[in-house]
Amino acid sequence: MNMSNKGLMLAVAIALGGVAATHAPMAQARVSVEIYAPTPPPPLRVERVPGPRHGYTWAPGYWAWNHNRYGWRKGHYVRERHGYVYNAPRWEQDGNRWRYHRERWDH
């Protein structure tokens, strides 16, 4: 296969990938991946919480584990889900390591 055919095939593959991405189904299953860290997270940072926002719940900042180190994720508003209670992300000691629990909405 010559270089121009390879380039054409690559362009077609990229175009089809872009079309598939824009027409992906709205409902998708969430794959649960356990996240563990070998050390405890740093102390939580103090954040200034903005005033109340109708229809939204404040999601406080937290320490995320990424590329073998902690990084701070700022707090933000999330749209309320009527009939549910928001539970912020948290870290819990699990033996000699720390397990991350994602944010979730409970009935």
pTM of the model: 0.67
pLDDT tens by residue, 75-95: 999 999 999 999 999 999 999
15: pLDDT strictly greater than 90 = no
Largest distance between two CA atoms of the chain: 62
Least confident of 23-37, 59-73, 91-105: 23-37
Phi, psi of 37 (to 5 degrees): -125, 145
pLDDT tens by residue, 44-74: 999 999 999 999 999 999 999 999 999 999 9
